[in-house]
Structure 1
Amino acid sequence: IFLSLQQDVIAGFLYAILILVVFHPVVDLIDNFNLTYKYAPLIIISLHLALGIFSFTLDTWSTSRGDTAQILGCAFEMTAVEKIEEQLASLRIAKRSVLSEEPAYLLDIDISKPAQSESSRFVAVSCSNKSIRVYNRETLNFLREYSGCPGILNGVRFSHTCDSIVFSACTDGTVKCWDIRLATQKAVQIFSGYPSNIFISFDISCNDIIICAGTEKVEKDTFLVFWDARGITNCASATKEPLGVYSESHNDDITKICFHPIEPNLVVSGSTDGLVNVFDINKDNEDDALISTCNSDSSVSFIGWSGKDCKQVYCMTHDEGFCWWDIAQLDTEEPITLLHVLDVRDAVSVENGSLHYLVGGLYHEKADKLFLIGGTSTGNVHLISCSTDGLSCVGSLCGGHSATVRSFCWNLTEESLLTGGEDAQLLLWKPGAVESSLAKKASMKIASSVQNRVRVHNSSLKSRKK
């Protein structure tokens, strides 16, 4: 019996290798078929159903057959993940924006959400010179700029339901909204906070109903402020008052806010107090709304959602740490911490180079994989794969930027990446692309009076440990 089990397992393993050899050359064709052919979902479901009925047809089910099935499943999953990692590593510069007359650091990037089957049309960039710049997404041609605000603009987000509506939070205590279709510089909607509010972070829910902004600490107070975002496109320039605030969950600057990509009632916030809080804003009060509090043990610089159905939360810290939690385990006895790295620069080995800082993270839905974006002071970008076993570098994007990269935006539909940095360049990266625009400038590092809240990465922090 033992020999028979061994033979079955070995046969399953060899069968998996055979499948890899046969299917690896046509993975791209299969992937394109799955994404573009309208009957693909029906065919895929029917194929899986047929395999489920006719595979392993025995009088009795054996554990060895189960092992074989598991090996085959793991082999297919490994192939998919490896293919995604290969695509990320093959990213090359497709387009490069033309430098503006007033160069500035590019601090945040967002792309417009496509209407139905159309592709994204616009890119919006938050700049260190207190402006929002809008570009054509495909050509990176400059379209318009919103400036002249009394405060500093922090972050930029497009509406999920209207690709011409763009938002940004301002240190003057407002969240502003512009309509790209209009020639005016004037905001079509202003969401006003309370007199002492200085907004340094914000986000809008996936159904465009709620806006949430986070404040700097003033005296002893920090707030999450909420507004009803509905009715923007049909109203003239007007001011909306807040729906209410959360004031008890953080005790320092709220640096990041991120709504859940699927469930509009869930939002996560991060702060320099080290706490990452998950809220259900459908609840009646702040105490009931607070679902989870995770401690990163350091000042939070970036937060996001990951995992299937986005049940996981991750964050990065200003001293380049990384934390990853599984919120789905809150009601179980299992630990919620998936990974905690005190300093990613020490944990990741980069071939022929080094890692100086982290920029952010992206969850790749197709591969069910979380990736981190990091870089060097000379402008190289590193792509880092995350697993519960640790972090590993899967590729580097070189020859694009000439200074620190501060922002990025991943386009899942087109498998492309946008990056912006201290060299004032906006770059579009695509798999296997060949750059057709102007050559890279030798050095475009610019001087800029960036506010203290915009972090400058310092390699001397590497020696600092928690």
Structure 2
Amino acid sequence: MYIATSLGNIQLWDLRTPQKFVVQFTEKKEEGSSNDLKTLACFNASANNRLLTAGTELYKGEAFILFWDIRNTTLMGGYWESHTDDVTQVVFDPNDADKLMSGSVDGLINVYDVKHTNEDDALMDSFNTESSVEQLCWYSNKGKDFISCITHTADVQLWSPDDAEPYAHFRRSDITKAMKRKSEAHCYVAGAHRLLGNELLILAGSNWNDGEHLKCMSTSNKKLESFGTLKENRQRVRCSVFNQYHNLLMTGGEQGILNVWNVNLNV
């Protein structure tokens, strides 16, 4: 299990020996280095477990994407020219270990070929959400990669790498309507998860009545539709993980409760 700390480190833990982490990835190149550590805002490992990457908060006017070889804790290098504000997401393509996307408060979604150490050569695509990126997710449709983006204003954008504009854009008002709620202010988007096949699971909730309105939604045919309610939820969900092979959804929230749901995906 990987854990990022507030000290600018990423630690790898073996759950069988919880007394101490196995290895630690840090920006410091040697013991006793006086280099300032940048504050990490996100991290991700490639599907083949060879590369580890992290995005940083703005540091001396620059936002960094850092890389480590998982077999070696020494920092390999980084990119720092493509974003102008905190990097909030770094996500490797699960089907291509050399493809990485990043999102930022500056509103950009950037896609890189990380085989290139030079950032200009690595940058493949850049998309402007005209908002602030909170969460990114890769998903596939008919063998082609697509990107879902949740913004800090609770919008959901769906992007094709071939287009300069999102092919679908669900605003907070659209999500509220699909949830059959009245107040936009009470509704939020908790996460987006790739499913087996061609579907995307959107998890959206409402703060009303201790958060009991937690909905699973699909995006078929550019429409947002609810296909189930997780009725026993009693908190605002802050994070979620989905196992697409067993249809298990894990949620954690503001009340400190960790729930595991068996989701019936009749979509």
Provide the TM-score with structure 2 as the length reference.
0.87
Q: Tell me which of 216, 235, 257 is aligned to 1:425.
A: 257
Instruction: Between 422-431 and 214-223, report the one with greater CA deviation.
Output: 422-431
Point out the structure with max Rg over C-alpha: 1
Unpaired runs of 5+ residues, structure 2, are: 29-35
Q: Tell me which of 152, 167, 172 is aligned to 1:318.
A: 152
Contact 1:213 1:224 survives alignment (8 Å): yes
Is the partner of 2:178 in helix, strand or coil?
A: coil
Q: 1:206 to 1:371 in 2, by over 3 A?
A: same
Residue 409 (structure 1) aligns with: 241
**1:85-100 paired onto structure 2 within 5 Å:** none
Q: CA deviation at 1:339?
A: 1.1
Q: CA deviation at 1:241?
A: 2.1
Contact 1:254 1:272 survives alignment (8 Å): yes
**1:209-224 paired onto structure 2 within 5 Å:** 209-224=50-65
Q: CA deviation at 1:346?
A: 5.4
Contact 1:168 1:177 survives alignment (8 Å): yes
Q: 1:188 to 1:221 in 2, by over 3 A?
A: same
Partners of 1:429 and 1:390 lie apart in 2 by 24
User: Per-residue CA shift, 1:33-53, capped at 9, x if unaligned?
Assistant: xxxxxxxxxxxxxxxxxxxxx
The answer to whether the aligner puts 1:199 opposite 2:40 as a matched pair is yes
User: Per-residue CA shift, 1:163-202, capped at 9, x if unaligned?
Assistant: xxx1122231211111111141x22111111524110100
Contact 1:202 1:211 survives alignment (8 Å): yes
Residue 375 (structure 1) aligns with: 205
Q: Which of 1 and 2 has higher RCO (CA within 8 Å, sep 6+)?
A: 1
Which residue identity is paired with 1:175? I
Provide the TM-score with structure 1 as the length reference.
0.51
Q: CA deviation at 1:349?
A: 2.6
Residue 350 (structure 1) aligns with: 179
User: Per-residue CA shift, 1:343-386, capped at 9, x if unaligned?
Assistant: 355563323676610011012123x1112111112223111211
Partners of 1:245 and 1:176 lie apart in 2 by 19
Q: 1:375 to 1:416 in 2, by over 3 A?
A: same
Which residue identity is paired with 2:177? V
Residue 338 (structure 1) aligns with: 167
Q: 1:175 to 1:403 in 2, by over 3 A?
A: same
Alignment root-mean-square deviation, CA: 2.0
Partners of 2:52 and 2:173 lie apart in 1 by 32
Percent sequence identity over matched residues?
A: 30
Contact 1:345 1:357 survives alignment (8 Å): no
Contact 1:267 1:280 survives alignment (8 Å): yes
Is the partner of 2:88 in helix, strand or coil?
A: strand
Residue 78 (structure 2) aligns with: 245
Instruction: Between 288-297 and 386-395, report the one with greater CA deviation.
Output: 386-395
Residue 13 (structure 2) aligns with: 178
Contact 2:175 2:224 survives alignment (8 Å): no
**1:44-443 paired onto structure 2 within 5 Å:** 166-184=1-19, 186-193=20-27, 195-230=36-71, 240-308=73-141, 309=143, 311-327=145-161, 329=162, 337-344=166-173, 348-351=177-180, 356-366=187-197, 368-377=198-207, 378-379=210-211, 380-400=213-233, 402-431=234-263
Residue 108 (structure 1) aligns with: none
User: Per-residue CA shift, 1:67-103, capped at 9, x if unaligned?
Assistant: xxxxxxxxxxxxxxxxxxxxxxxxxxxxxxxxxxxxx
Which residue identity is paired with 2:168? L
Partners of 2:64 and 2:45 lie apart in 1 by 16
Partners of 1:175 and 1:289 lie apart in 2 by 24
Partners of 1:341 and 1:278 lie apart in 2 by 22
Partners of 1:374 and 1:425 lie apart in 2 by 17
